[in-house]
A = this chain, B = another copy of it.
Amino acid sequence: MLAPETLLITINRVRSRVAIIVNLDEERDRSRRPSLEPLNALVGADLVEVNRLILQHMQSPVALIPQLAGHIVASGGKRLRPMLTLASASLCGYRGTRHCALAACVEFIHTATLLHDDVVDDSALRRGRATANSVWGNKASVLVGDYLFSRAFQIMVMDGSLRVLDILSNASAVMAEGEVLQLVTSNDAETSEQTYLDVIRRKTAALFAAACRVGPVIAERPRVEEEALDSYGLNLGIAFQLVDDVLDYAAREIELGKTVGDDFRDGKITLPVVLAFRRGDREEREFWRRTLESQDRRDGDLDHAVGLMHKHGALRDTVARAAHYGAVARDALGIFPEGPAKSALLEIVDFCIERAY
């Protein structure tokens, strides 16, 4: 019998030879592309329970609440944040049932901020569907967001861990700070890369970090594991947001259910804009000022914006920055033993970055 590594080499050799004939290479590459499959395999059963809890806890005698909340909760999000809680718990060998309720809290906090974000951005579409504010109005979205946020804290109180409450209330405050900071900088094309990173560290990455930290806390693992998973989540969250910013200018709409140009139309300053502005000449900076600061956008402006980004490598380099944070996230998991949970968490990093290609 062959040793495993010999077997692998043999298979690869065979594959290479076959590939010449039927071009299996492409198929093999696709099958190797990082995906959320290992994560789904790891936590899929728990996620069913999380979805059940989400539906249960968004009920209210006030009918508009489950209607509106159901619209956004069911709108095809990946449930990435609650899955991080479930996978972190799994990585830490957690064997109880608390992780599902706490993952639902994480999703409620995320959903509440989405509802408020869409109001703040006047967004009409999210993931290709009408936003709650465009269907029920801004007022209902603000108030149902408040409801879901309160619900999240109620569920945490039922769980009974002050440590978890501390982690998620801190994350919520930091997220709100990040949103305000983004609002303040939202029409300033001269925003620095550092300021922008500060925004996304708060508004996006803080909840990723908190979602991951809950796992080791409920598994009662040592502080060093908490910090490792916090760092993994924080850096993954930064990478995720940077790639999201790239996709907003470069996504293939059908694949991602994402509308290209939303950020541009909202006048949002993201890293691709920051880089293109700083690398641009006087005339180009005038273009960014007109379209994003003065909000004077005309036909063809979005294409021109994308053209400038390509000219200066702003999208490519934003992905490179994301890859940097992804690498830090991967290394943060170094202290954990190999296994399906660690593999799944590592693959999320690659998945988040590969989305850009």
* CB <8 Å contact, B177 and A60: yes
Please tell me which one of the listed residues B113, B166, B180 contacts residue A65 in the complex, with CB atoms under 8 A apart. Answer: B180
In whole angstroms, what is the CA distance A138 to B133 when docked?
14
A146 and B176 contact, CB distance less than 8 A: yes
Is residue A183 contacting chain B, with contact meaning CB distance below 8 A?
Answer: yes
User: A144 near B: Cβ within 8 Å?
Assistant: yes
A205 CB–B CB distance under 8 Å: no
Quick one: which of B63, B160, B180 contacts A143, CB cutoff 8 A?
A: B180
Selecting from A2-10, A151-159, A226-234, the interface stretch reads A151-159
Write the A140-169 contact mask toward B (1 if CB under 8 angstroms, else 0): 101110110111011011001010011001
Q: How far is the CA of A165 from the CA of B159 in the complex (A)?
A: 12
Task: Known contacts A120-B139, A142-B142; decide if A165 and B157 are in contact (CB<8 Å).
Answer: yes
Q: Chain B: which residue is nearest A173 at the CB level?
A: B150
What are the residues of chain B within 8 A of A139 when measuring CB–CB?
119-120, 183
A246 to B340, CA, bound (A): 65
Q: Which single residue of chain B is at the shortest CB-CB distance from A198?
A: B61
A184 within 8 A of B: yes
Q: Counting CB contacts under 8 A, is A256 at the interface?
A: no
Residues of B within 8 A of A162 (CB): 157, 160, 162
A116 beta carbon closer than 8 Å to chain B: yes
User: If A153-B153, A169-B153 touch, does A140 touch B180 (CB 8 Å cutoff)?
Assistant: yes
Residue of B nearest to A177 (CB): B62
Q: Which residues of A contact B (CB under 8 A)?
A: 60-65, 113, 116, 119-120, 138-140, 142-144, 146-147, 149-151, 153-154, 156-157, 160, 162, 165-166, 169-170, 172-173, 175-177, 179-181, 183-184
8 tightest CB-CB pairs across the interface, nearest first? A147-B176, A150-B173, A150-B172, A153-B169, A146-B176, A120-B139, A143-B179, A154-B169
Report the nearest B residue to A163, measured CB to CB. Answer: B157
Q: How many copies does the complex hold?
A: 2
Q: Across the interface, which residues of B come within 8 angstroms of A160, CB to CB? A: 162
Collect the chain B residues with CB atoms within 8 Å of residue A184's CB.
62-64
Contact A180 B64, CB 8 Å, known A116-B142, A116-B143, A119-B142: yes
Not counting A116-B146, A157-B162, A157-B169, a sample of 12 additional A-B residue pairs whose C-beta atoms are within 8 angstroms of each other reads A60-B180, A61-B177, A62-B181, A62-B184, A64-B184, A142-B142, A143-B183, A146-B149, A146-B176, A149-B172, A150-B172, A150-B176
Residues of chain B lying within 8 A (CB to CB) of residue A64: 180, 183-184
A142 in contact with B120 (CB, 8 Å): yes
Chain B neighbourhood of A179, CB < 8 A = 143, 146
